[in-house]
Structure 1
Amino acid sequence: MSIETTPASSPDPEWDKLVAGLSGTADSPLLQKTDDTPVNQPDLLGDMPLTPEWVRTSAGWRTRTEVGRVNSTRAFRRWVRRQNTEHGHTAQIFRGVRRTFLWIQGTEGVQVATARREVQQAQADYKAAKWGHDKRLIPGPEKQKRRGEMEKAFAGSVTAMTKYKSTRRDARTRRAIRGAFALSPVAAAEGAGLYLAGGTGGLIATGATFAALALIGRRTTGGEVYTDRDAKFGDTRKLTDTMLTHVYQNARVINTDDTLSLLTPCTLTADGQAWEVIFDLPSGIPTKKALTAKEAVAGALGVAVQQLNQGRGDREGRIRLRVSLNLPFTGKPTPGPLLAVESVNLWQAIPMGVNLRGQEVSTSWVERSGLFGGEPGAGKSAAANDLLLAAALDPTVSLYLCDGKAGADVTPFEQIAAMYDTDGDPERLLEILQHIWDVEIPRRRTLAKEHGSRKLTAAMAAKDPRVNLAVLLVDEWSSYGAAADRKVREELERLLRLIVQQGRALGIITLCATQKPDSDSVPTGIRDILSIRWAMRCLTPQASDTILGQGYAAAGHNAQDILKSQRGVGIYMDGEKAEPELTRGYYYDDDEVTLLLDRAYELRAKVGTLPAGAVSLADQLRALGDDHANILAALVDAFDVRSDSEGRPVEWLPGAVLIEYLAASGMDVSADALGRLVVRTEEDKVKRAWEGSRVFGYPRSRVMATVRDRFGLGE
């Protein structure tokens, strides 16, 4: 048989073509790219198909080294505790010595003892036969018979003694051979160690001898072998395949003779904070059985329930398991990404928070509505701010904000909100809902018909500036219901239900937030059509189910398990068919909220989308781009900056003061030109006292009248 080889001068063209194709394809699964090596390096043979790329980076090595250091420390502590038991290495060495001695002694001792017993018996028989022969009164024939028996017993005694000596000599020889066989490696190791490395070598050889004896004595007298199979993840911080199967067996999820089928190895995540694995349950065991046994699985792992996260795989019976090394979401919150952007397009997905894997959770709110719930202090307002602040940074979005608890959560948004209620007034809420139903929805429906569609889309908004989104926030509906009479409450429910149902396709996003979304706080007919759910910390599983839906708590998604230290953390479900996941919302403190809202105000002022009440009269005049409007804007500012003791603008100023203010504003306006622009009555032209003298001037009312008459603006 011969082996064919390809000469170096004639490479295989097919192989070269394959290598070139793999090296030039950036999306090839065999290409390996790391932070340390930004250029793709081909892994043509696929040696590391299951090794994450981050492992081959410096950060990956540091992470694994740190986890390895912790595991080594804990392993050493377990080894120290183990020494006091029968599985300790001292006990193993003694058992090894004893078993080695017994092996050297062998079973020949039984044969020697048997031969000795035979000698003793033969000698006793000989003595008895001799005593019978030595009797003098026995007749001759009998005497002769007994003599024969004596000689026979003597021959047997001699034979037994010979056999005994042979057996004893053979036993000694065998024991010597086994002893030499057992001790020669020890002697050879000691001699070689002393010869090669002196005393250090001798110590090494002695250690090797002890290790060999400990290995021989590894099994106890009962045949048990030490194993860390019973060690829990909470003690080792390392997840293994055998541990995982043992855990689900102890949790009564699978039978003791069943095993899990791992689809991925137990792998430490890139941030070094958790272990992850995907596996299939044995055939016939539903996913729900594992999800409902969350407490039992956590107990078998030796971790807190909050450290365990089980999720459904892409099919029934498949589990995605994540076990965190520490309690997740207990450190400082992640800085909000809105701080780094100038504006937001709400037609696109916006960041809402970070999940357990450190990945950003983004949600598209177009044609969606939401329900956020949880006990007081759980972080509902901060979670709602993720949507409200993003909507504020989109200058085309209209904000309708209602706070039933009359708090200060939406107060900072007043200057950019189209309509708002911060007093918990049901009549004001009714006015806002009525405006949306009577004005916003008909206008939006007309726009959709103009574009030949049943709904408003981002493509329409890109072409038509009249197409925009609107956000309606209703915080603590139960407070509004408690303060309203029956007729007002029924009308509020009717309007809110219609807005949620019909406004969804017309670009109206509704968000309801409450402490416990039962039928009293949010009507059932409204709660059931709110698609996005976020369950913050709850006091009972029932409260968690009222937010996420019936049965989620029993399936392992229970907001009651969230700790108080995990503020802003909740079970987030992005849509009706989305799998709930633990998510921590971004947090913006008061200073950051003020910064973002100032930015939002500037954006809206620039494009002219500020509410009429939020834009000063002077700014409205300047936005017209007319020279006379600019002069009137400066005059309005002149009256405003000279307010009285109560903060109200002064009602009269001398003409010279106004002309001086106009000049300071960069406008060269003469007294005659000012008189032609602001027409006064004869009564207005009367001199008034000003700083010890009487001068001509202009009343503020005439300036405001001029603004109304010329441009239709003002009070």
Structure 2
Amino acid sequence: MSLTQQKDDVGGERIPLPDTAGHEAASVSTVGPGAEKPGAADTVEAATPVLDGELITEAEYQRSRVRRLAESAASRLPAQWQTAESARQAGAELAGRVVMVPVRYPAAVGRGLTVSARAWWAWVRVADFYEASKAADRLADKWQEIAVVRRRRGVISVLTVGVTGLGGLIAELTAGSLPLVVAGGAVSVILAVAGQRKDGAGGRSTRLGSRSLAWLMNGDHLVIAFRDAKLIGRDESLMLVKAPRHDGAGWALTIDLPPSRKASDVIGKREALASALAVDEVRLIVERVRGDDGHAGRLALWVGDADPYAAEPVPGPLASATSWDLWRPVPFGTTARGAAVTLPVVWTSLLIGAIPRQGKTFVARLPLTAAALDPHVRLIIADGKGGKDFRPFEQVAHRFIRGSREADARRLIHVLEECAADVADRFDRLADMDDELCPESKVTPEITRDPAHGMPLTVIGIDEVQNFLGLNVPLDKDNLKGKKIGGRICELLTYIAKTGPAAGYSLILATQKPDAQVIPDGLRGQLGTRFALKTMTWQASETILGAGTYKAGMDASKLLTSHKGVGLLLGADGETELSAGDAVTVRTHLLHIAAIRAACERGRVLREQAGTLTGDAIGKRDLAVLDPTVAARLADEVTATATSPEPVDAELVHELPEVLALLDGLIGHDEHGLVPTGALAARIGWDVKTLGEALRAAGVPSAGKRRVQGHPNPVSVVDVDVVRSAIDG
């Protein structure tokens, strides 16, 4: 077995020693200038070798070498991984470059000649010395010295030109034109290299044309895009976990970020990455890979070949469904990649918000249509707009209110009081049921489907809810300064949204005015599922999706106005299978009013057969009269729920970048001003370069180089006040 020598990490000289075990050699190292030398046996410290090697077999060494080479080239996309389409794309670009060589090469040579002439002239004129003397106000003292250098360099230039010309003439007479042609070609190549278009070069930074998606041709393009987007450092790379492959109408791949880089940071800067890739952000999907196959630094990327939301809307399957079980999630729409998205209705409530004419009403009618197709669901509809959009549901609705006038709002109050009393009564009856029938103090499918229990799933849908909540009319006409109608409706909705899901109640609220004053935090915080279509501002988007969603990269204001029915779907309470951390961009199904009317007709027939058609649908519009004792108890419970101080609409916490998390707590509150970057790096055990790159990626710029106490020369510094502000958000 042969042994392989290993390189000493501290730069010492490798000295092979005899292998007493019969092997060829073992590897040791000596350190620094005091390394062991012949004749230095009497020197105690220098004669003692530092053993830091490890005996490994040749096979182990070759395996480690192959692994290191693979890691160093991890960012490059091997040619065999390319698909036929990406190979054609690469070939087309290469052919275009070849065709343009006769035009681009002379232009590059001309630019190189200009650059070289400017550099020569600056050298002859001693421009650097001249500007430095002028800046130091010592031009008069240095003028004679500058003039001498200028004359000397001028003479050198003339002699160089003369010698070059004479040499060329001699070569022409003795060897012909071939040497001159070869020399001219070499000079032209040098000039072309010098004349390359470089970012930031004066007069050459702007070009006519446009950027286009190119990363599919080579994995390094993706690395460059991540660096340009400030998502990884200049010395960092990416690992391709899965090669790019065509997935549906786009390209998909899985990558691992460098150590300490988090997928959540990339998701929060999706727009910057889309810009670096030269695509619209609606074509880019960035998701963290979770579970056993993923980790905090693994990302799944998908880039669409074209705008995935520009196609015609997909008709919803509910249009042809004969019935529906609302305990199953409702078909809601599809993602950009064509994956089906379903919407849970049980155990949660839904808030839909958007600017006008973005499909808000169409979206709200999807779960309501599913509820209409389930004969064991009690449906309550309040149309705050008063048009015909919800008229088909009159056939099956237990309570139906059309319009938002004062009389309509007062009837809505009575309906909601009736529902609130039913919620309280259900909990009383659930508490008396045996554990086998009701194991968790919640309704079950068996309970809701058995007419003997009188606890059907109940869905309350209110469109343009802001028209009811904003009604500033006194509830008691004899007390003009008392509670308003809108306030009372808000109290009742908050109570039902908070306590009703376990009793089988769900709210579906839609509004075109997602304003915190219109829908207070106390109500909005109880709505566990959010869907935001196009909004005007990111603040309006956060009002719908929840605090902190904008910082986490979820912003409905970035959706295009032309994408009607497209929005961000987010689960905010963890009660359903919807992710409570990442919103899904969904193109909702399309159900025209004719299809909804037909579905409601089928739902009415199903209810007639099941004996569950009740209330307004059969002409019984009279509301139940609450017992005074029950009404008093209910009033206290509703008021207590609406005024509860418990936190609502909890903010989605955006994790701090690692460098800020490490520095948090290490910077004293009494520490202000500039601190050397090296001193800050020492606190967390990082090197200066890594810390600087991490701080820039976290949005903390360097304060440049300054003179600080204890350092003779200027050093890189960081403003700790800026760091603390970044930590505090």
TM-score band w.r.t. shorter chain? 0.5 to 0.7
Partner of 2:556: 559
2:225 to 240, 244, 247: 247
Partner of 1:458: 445
Partner Cα distance (1:465, 1:88) in 2: 88
Counterpart of 2:550 in structure 1: which amino acid? A
Give the CA deviation at 1:531: 0.9
Partner of 1:159: none
Partner of 2:44: none
Partner of 2:393: 413
Partner Cα distance (2:318, 2:427) in 1: 28
Partner of 2:103: 84
1:300 to 276, 291, 301: 276
Matched, 1:593 2:576: no
Matched, 1:438 2:397: no
Unaligned runs of 5+ in 2: 1-81, 111-162, 168-173, 199-206, 475-482, 574-579, 621-729
* Rg comparison, structure with higher value: 1
Would you say the 8 A contact 2:334–2:340 is kept in 1? yes
Partner Cα distance (2:265, 2:316) in 1: 37
Matched, 1:513 2:510: yes
Would you say the 8 A contact 2:535–2:541 is kept in 1? yes
Name the SS for the 2:412 alignment partner. Answer: helix
Partner Cα distance (1:608, 1:232) in 2: 66
Give the CA deviation at 1:83: 4.6
Partner of 2:371: 391
Superimposed CA distance per residue, residues 412-471 of structure 1 (whole angstroms, 9 cap, x where no aligned partner):
101210002111121021011011012354146525632344110124446676442110
Matched, 1:482 2:470: yes
Would you say the 8 A contact 1:476–1:521 is kept in 2? no
Partner Cα distance (2:322, 2:399) in 1: 24
Q: How does 1:574-653 map to 2 (within 5 A)?
A: 574-576=571-573, 577-615=580-618
2:498 to 479, 501, 507: 501
Would you say the 8 A contact 2:315–2:590 is kept in 1? yes
Higher relative contact order (CA 8 A, sep 6+): 2
Superimposed CA distance per residue, residues 523-543 of structure 1 (whole angstroms, 9 cap, x where no aligned partner):
211101111111100100111
Number of matched residues? 446
Name the SS for the 1:518 alignment partner. Answer: coil
Q: Comparing both structures, which one devotes a greater share of its residues to helix?
A: 1
Partner of 2:260: 284
Partner Cα distance (1:340, 1:83) in 2: 63
2:193 to 222, 225, 228: 222
Give the CA deviation at 1:296: 2.3
Matched, 1:525 2:522: yes
Give the CA deviation at 1:253: 1.8
Partner Cα distance (2:396, 2:370) in 1: 13
Partner Cα distance (1:75, 1:540) in 2: 43
Matched, 1:471 2:459: yes
1:401 to 381, 384, 402: 381
Superimposed CA distance per residue, residues 193-246 of structure 1 (whole angstroms, 9 cap, x where no aligned partner):
xxxxxxxxxxxxxxxxxxxxx9xx99975389999xx99983548363111100
The alpha-carbon distance between structure 1 residues 327 and 346, as it changes in their structure 2 partners (threshold 3 A), is same
Q: TM-score normalized by structure 1?
A: 0.56
Counterpart of 1:479 in structure 2: which amino acid? N
Would you say the 8 A contact 1:71–1:237 is kept in 2? no
Partner of 1:204: none
The alpha-carbon distance between structure 1 residues 65 and 253, as it changes in their structure 2 partners (threshold 3 A), is closer
RMSD: 4.1
The alpha-carbon distance between structure 1 residues 82 and 444, as it changes in their structure 2 partners (threshold 3 A), is farther
The alpha-carbon distance between structure 1 residues 463 and 614, as it changes in their structure 2 partners (threshold 3 A), is closer
Partner of 2:120: none
Partner Cα distance (2:234, 2:402) in 1: 60
Partner of 2:432: 449
Name the SS for the 2:302 alignment partner. Answer: strand
Name the SS for the 2:232 alignment partner. Answer: coil
2:286 to 302, 310, 314: 310
Name the SS for the 2:253 alignment partner. Answer: strand
Give the CA deviation at 1:520: 2.4
Partner Cα distance (2:546, 2:331) in 1: 24
The alpha-carbon distance between structure 1 residues 398 and 287, as it changes in their structure 2 partners (threshold 3 A), is same
Unaligned runs of 5+ in 1: 1-60, 92-112, 118-170, 177-181, 183-213, 618-715
Name the SS for the 1:279 alignment partner. Answer: strand
Would you say the 8 A contact 2:516–2:543 is kept in 1? no
Give the CA deviation at 1:275: 1.5
Would you say the 8 A contact 2:323–2:373 is kept in 1? yes
Partner Cα distance (1:262, 1:535) in 2: 34
Counterpart of 1:436 in structure 2: which amino acid? C
Give the CA deviation at 1:260: 1.5
Give the CA deviation at 1:580: 0.6
Q: How does 1:663-678 map to 2 (within 5 A)?
A: none
2:243 to 250, 262, 265: 265
The alpha-carbon distance between structure 1 residues 306 and 501, as it changes in their structure 2 partners (threshold 3 A), is same
Partner of 1:363: 343
Partner of 2:636: none
Superimposed CA distance per residue, residues 282-301 of structure 1 (whole angstroms, 9 cap, x where no aligned partner):
22233343233333222221
Would you say the 8 A contact 2:533–2:556 is kept in 1? yes
Partner Cα distance (1:327, 1:570) in 2: 15
Superimposed CA distance per residue, residues 13-59 of structure 1 (whole angstroms, 9 cap, x where no aligned partner):
xxxxxxxxxxxxxxxxxxxxxxxxxxxxxxxxxxxxxxxxxxxxxxx
Partner Cα distance (2:323, 2:452) in 1: 16
Matched, 1:544 2:504: no
Counterpart of 1:368 in structure 2: which amino acid? T
Q: How does 1:17-56 map to 2 (within 5 A)?
A: none
Give the CA deviation at 1:344: 0.6
Give the CA deviation at 1:395: 0.8
Partner Cα distance (2:90, 2:596) in 1: 43
Would you say the 8 A contact 1:518–1:524 is kept in 2? no
Superimposed CA distance per residue, residues 541-585 of structure 1 (whole angstroms, 9 cap, x where no aligned partner):
111111111222232211111111110000111343242111111
Q: TM-score normalized by structure 2?
A: 0.55
Partner Cα distance (1:82, 1:441) in 2: 81
Superimposed CA distance per residue, residues 97-132 of structure 1 (whole angstroms, 9 cap, x where no aligned partner):
xxxxxxxxxxxxxxxx9xx99xxxxxxxxxxxxxxx
The alpha-carbon distance between structure 1 residues 89 and 540, as it changes in their structure 2 partners (threshold 3 A), is closer
The alpha-carbon distance between structure 1 residues 322 and 395, as it changes in their structure 2 partners (threshold 3 A), is same
Partner of 1:535: 532
Partner Cα distance (1:446, 1:546) in 2: 37
Name the SS for the 1:408 alignment partner. Answer: coil
Would you say the 8 A contact 2:468–2:489 is kept in 1? no
Name the SS for the 2:501 alignment partner. Answer: helix
Partner Cα distance (2:374, 2:225) in 1: 50
The alpha-carbon distance between structure 1 residues 240 and 372, as it changes in their structure 2 partners (threshold 3 A), is farther
Partner Cα distance (2:197, 2:516) in 1: 58
